[in-house]
């Protein structure tokens, strides 16, 4: 899979089929190239799968997550999300935030601010402390939004955050 071409932006309001502040928008599927995947081929409800690829997250020149024991969630129109076991994260750099959100598939989420030295990325990581039965495998595993990080890598290939603010960019 080429992680440089994961997904195009989804500039419409969730569930509305309309671009934020614009007329109705119909997203167009781009045919993936060799070794690529299309987010439009991902399932709904989402699929959870273990991955042995090398996942790295770097923030303020510090590798804060490094694993080959991640899980990947694939959901229609969403970029793949990699969940890292807490044992493979330098947890001293994550500060739990108040509040949370709710996913209809995975359950209640809590968020973390990533703080390394003088840099801070607010609510840039999240986990599911009490996931639904279908997603029990990722209980307490942590995912990071790629946009606020210095770099995220999947098997040494740098992840290119999607444009815009949808799903953290």
Query: pLDDT (tens digit, 9 = 90+) per residue, 13-54?
Result: 344 344 445 555 666 778 888 888 777 777 688 999 999 999
Residues spanned by the domain of 63: 3-168
Assign residue 93 the CATH number of its domain.
Answer: 2.170.150.40
pLDDT for position 2: 37
The residue whose two tokens read 């490094």 is 66
Number of domains observed in the structure of the chain: 1
Structure confidence by residue, pLDDT tens digits, 113-140 = 999 999 999 999 999 999 999 999 999 9
């Amino acid at each position: 899979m080429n992680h440089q071409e994961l997904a195009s932006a989804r500039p419409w309001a969730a569930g509305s089929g309309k671009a934020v502040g614009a007329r109705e928008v119909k997203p167009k599927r781009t045919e993936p190239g060799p070794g690529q995947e299309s987010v439009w081929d991902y399932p709904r409800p989402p699929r959870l799968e273990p991955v042995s690829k090398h996942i790295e997250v770097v923030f303020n020149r510090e590798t804060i997550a490094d694993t080959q024991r991640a899980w990947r969630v694939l959901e229609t129109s969403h970029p793949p999300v990699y969940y890292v076991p807490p044992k493979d994260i330098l947890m001293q750099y994550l500060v739990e935030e108040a509040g949370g959100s709710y996913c209809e598939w995975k359950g209640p989420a809590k968020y973390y601010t990533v703080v390394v030295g003088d840099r801070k990325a607010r609510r840039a990581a999240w986990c599911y402390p009490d996931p639904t039965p279908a997603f029990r495998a990722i209980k307490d595993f942590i995912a990071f939004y790629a946009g606020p990080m210095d770099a995220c890598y999947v098997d040494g290939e740098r992840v290119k955050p999607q444009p815009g603010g949808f799903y953290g960019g």
